[in-house]
Amino acid sequence: MFSANTYARRREQLMHQVGRGLILLMGNEYSPKNYLDNTFPFRQDSNFLYYIGLDHAHLAAILDTETGETVLFGDELTIEDIVWMGPQDSLKDQAQNVGIREVQDYDLLVEVLRAANKQNRAIHFLPPYRSENKINLAYWLHLPLLDIHKEASPTLIKAIVAQRSVKTAEEIAEMEKALVTTKAMYLAAMKQTKPGVKEAQLAGIAEGIAVAGGGDLAYPIILTINGQVLHNHHHHNILKSGQLVLADMGAESSMHYAADITRTWPVDATFTQRQKEIYQIVLDAQLAGIAASRPGVRNLDVHFAAAKVITNGLKSLGLLIGDTDEIIQAGAHALFFPHGLGHMIGLDVHDMEDLGESYVGYTEGLERSTQFGLKSLRMARELQPGFVMTIEPGIYFIPQLIDMWQAEGRFSQFINYPALQAYRDFSGVRIEDDVLVTPDEPRVLGPGIPKEIGEIEALRS
Ligand code: GLY
Ligand code: MN
Ligand code: MN
């Protein structure tokens, strides 16, 4: 964990920003998988990690903006806990390590909240995404369970988004640790790729490296010969000569900072000529997106910079026809690039998505588009130094989408449907890196994971 000072300063800044009332931060509980004691792996809430730093279940904190004090609520260790889970620091000592002096029993939390309610003190809380926390909040505050997210505090959400968006040097260092592990995951998966190997074998090797790295996966692995299926978590295919492998995977550091990387490589030692052509367009689009990621530039315009390279590249192959800007404005290129260029990353792989994408990625006057493709852009607002963004363009050939658009005659002035037939079984290419916005040059974080065609072929041979 970081120093007590780091957590104390973060809380101070948050209390100052929120200005009045109490701030309630809830940690996560264990969540049952198939019976009560067989739980999903525990993952602490990221806001709780950011402000409180303690990484175990059944904790909450109240920050009093008027006194500046933080109280931690949790249950002190019993001999039973030690018998089943081994010796641990007392909760009091753990609290001290993160700069908190006052610890109270978890059961007292409801009384403190109800007393504050009686005194008409504002209680700011975040939109809960776990059932356990939704139920607790509804019970504690006498709020309707199903609409509980509507009662969350926009003031608190905005203050947290502003604070967590700008990463400090110690946070960047954690993300780079996750990227070192992620590089090892990629090198192993790339080296073990050959015809006859199962997708599941490669995914298993990569997951093992993430766990051995001292953290875990930041999100479920995508590793597939069907890269055109965007969120494809099936790993049941056997690799065949001539196919491409698309892997989207990243480790979490032991402090839960995420990496999010995508690479695409051939099952054979080399790319085919057609694979190279599409791959190089995606790589050029990614490099254009990275170069455009500068302070004061809207991420929407970074997205368009990459879309332009993709559109021009597909025009050069004869798959798109017409004026580049008109194609992009109409959204015709989204047949090939149907998602956004990227998102913020930090403690969450889609950073702060629990707080609401509209707060993280959009501002007043910058509404989310409803156009196919662009509507999936998670972040459009202006970049600032300290933001870490993923840059992840792709080109995909989705037979069902091609057939549907062709049958509708959609954008037939821009899309060369007859020429597209030869690409029906191409699958897809995506390349993704995590990029720090700085006052000067954008910095691709991590130790550098091969992505030039020559580098990948050298590894594969
Ligand atoms: N790994 C999920 C994403 O790239 O957004
Ligand atoms: Mn990804
Ligand atoms: Mn991503």
In the prediction, which pLDDT does 158 show?
A: 98
Average pLDDT, the chain: 97
Ligand 1: residue whose CA is nearest its atom 3: 260
Tell me the per-residue pLDDT of 150-181, one tens digit each, with 9 for 90 and over: 999 999 999 999 999 999 999 999 999 999 99
Which pLDDT value is given to residue 232? Answer: 86
**Whole-angstrom distance, CA of residue 91 vs CA of residue 54:** 10
State the maximum Cα–Cα separation within the chain, in Å, rounded to a whole number: 74
What mean pLDDT comes out for the span 19-31? 97
Q: Hey, which of 186, 230, 262 would you mutate to test ligand 1's pocket, going by the most ligand atoms within 8 Å of its Cβ? A: 262
Q: Which of 296, 255, 285 lies closest to 48, judged by CA?
A: 255
pLDDT at 328 over 90: yes
CB-ligand 1 contact for 392 (6 Å cutoff): yes
What does the domain layout of the chain look like in residue ranges? 4-165, 169-460
Please give the pLDDT value at position 169: 98
Q: Is there a contact between 394 and 339 (Cβ–Cβ < 8 Å)?
A: yes
Written out in words, the top-level CATH class of the domain with range 4-165 is alpha beta
Q: What percent of the chain has pLDDT over 70?
A: 100
262 CA: nearest ligand 1 atom: 4
The residue assigned the tokens 């006859």 is 196
End-to-end CA distance of the chain: 41
Instruction: Determine contact, residues 77/92, Cβ cutoff 8 Å.
Output: no
Q: Is 257 helix (H, G, I), strand (E, B) or coil?
A: coil
pLDDT at 417: 98
- The atom of ligand 1 lying closest to the CA of 231 is 2
Confidence of residue 359 (pLDDT cuts 50, 70, 90): very high
pLDDT digits (tens, 9 = 90+) for 33-43: 999 999 999 99
Instruction: Please give the Cα distance from 210 to 233 (Å, whole number).
Output: 17
Q: What is the pLDDT of residue 233?
A: 87
Is the minimum distance from the CB of 434 to ligand 1 under 6 angstroms?
Answer: no
Look up the pTM and report it.
Answer: 0.97
CA of 444 from ligand 3 middle (Å) equals 14
Residue 397 has pLDDT above 90, yes or no: yes
Residues, beta carbon < 5 Å, ion ligand 3? 260, 390
Q: For residue range 291-324, what is the model confidence (pLDDT) as tens digits?
A: 999 999 999 999 999 999 999 999 999 999 999 9
Task: Report the amino acid identity of residue 377.
Answer: L
**What spacing in Å lies between the alpha carbon of 215 and ligand 1's midpoint?**
18
The pick from 349, 357, 360 for probing ligand 1's pocket by mutation, whose C-beta has the most ligand atoms within 8 angstroms, reads: 349
Is the CB–ligand 1 distance for residue 29 below 6 Å? Answer: no
CB-side exposure of 81: number of CA atoms within 13 Å? 11
| Residue 370 backbone zone (phi > 0: left; psi -120 to 50: alpha; other: beta) | alpha
The rounded Å distance from CA 434 to ligand 2 centre is 9
Q: Is 433 near ligand 1, meaning CB less than 6 Å away? A: no
Beta strands in 180-268 (DSSP E): 216-217, 222-224, 244-249, 251-252, 261-266
For the stretch 201-242, pLDDT in tens is 999 999 999 999 999 999 999 999 999 999 988 999 999 999
pLDDT (tens digit, 9 = 90+) per residue, 116-152?
Answer: 999 999 999 999 999 999 999 999 999 999 999 999 9
Third-level CATH fold of 169-460: Creatine Amidinohydrolase (3.90.230)
**Nearest ligand, CA 434:** 3
- 82 CB contacts (<8 Å, ≥6 apart)? 88
- pLDDT the model gives residue 432: 98
